[in-house]
Amino acid sequence: MANSSNKTGLIVSAHSADFVWRAGGAAALYASKGWHVRIICLSFGERGESAKMWKHENMTLEKVKASREDEARQAAEVLGCDIDFYDIGDYPMRISDDIIYRLADEFRQHRPEWVLSHSLEDPYNFDHPLTTHAVQEARIIAQAHGHNYPEKVIGVPGIFLFEPHQTEQCNWKPHVILDISSVWQKKAKAFECMTAQEHLWEYYTRVALQRGAQGKRNSGRDMKYGEAYMRILPFVGEEFV
């Protein structure tokens, strides 16, 4: 896709649908502004995130993975983003050094201004914090002068953690509420691509409305839909806003 602003945002999703529910609004919003938004799915969610598909007779792991990949590609197209799949498996997910280095190469090649990934804790899904741990480690490696010298190191992109399914259990707080009202229809359309998890469409619509109401109250903006993020690195600038 065209990169009119020469700026990139990176979303690293444990499973093939996580980016849609939790960061689809950010993806669509920045893509609409001309950013290159790149999505990486570490797995297809073929074991733990595809219960509806496994209820069919004669289902196979290969069929599930192919279907989940197709869903995610359709959703990324709706949102206006690039997408790549590492296919490292889920439930359990294991991340090798090769995957860490591959992510570091993503940082070096695309040099994102910001990175979105999962909460640091999630007692319901170990794949989620594992993904964010890998993202942080890859970011540190990409900043290391001794890694793949003489490649140019990266700066420090902002890392934001998108909202987990049950925030209270994950020690997660909404430090940032992003107004996604202008791109809500794109996010809702991306929901509809994820047919294997149709039960989440309404749930994440309610989440967006709730964060929209909170965003309006905290800002005075005329907003209806929002996405919330937790920041783990400090904001640096010459002004507060």
The domains of the chain, with CATH numbers, are 8-231 (3.40.50.10320)
Any idea which residue has 């700066």 for tokens? 155
* Spatial distance between the Cα atoms of 184 and 25, rounded to a whole number of angstroms: 7
pTM for the predicted model, two decimal places: 0.95
**Listed residue (134, 154, 133, 130) closest to 142, CA to CA:** 154
* Spatial distance between the Cα atoms of 52 and 56, rounded to a whole number of angstroms: 8
Tokens of 99: 């995957």
DSSP-assigned letter for residue 162: E
> What confidence category does residue 11 fall into, taking pLDDT thresholds of 50, 70 and 90?
very high
Q: Which amino acid is at 4?
A: S
Tokens of 108: 């070096």
> What pLDDT digit, counting tens, does each position of 148-188 carry?
999 999 999 999 999 999 999 999 999 999 999 999 999 99
> What pLDDT digit, counting tens, does each position of 108-161 carry?
999 999 999 999 999 999 999 999 999 999 999 999 999 999 999 999 999 999
**Listed residue (27, 25, 34, 22) closest to 10, CA to CA:** 27
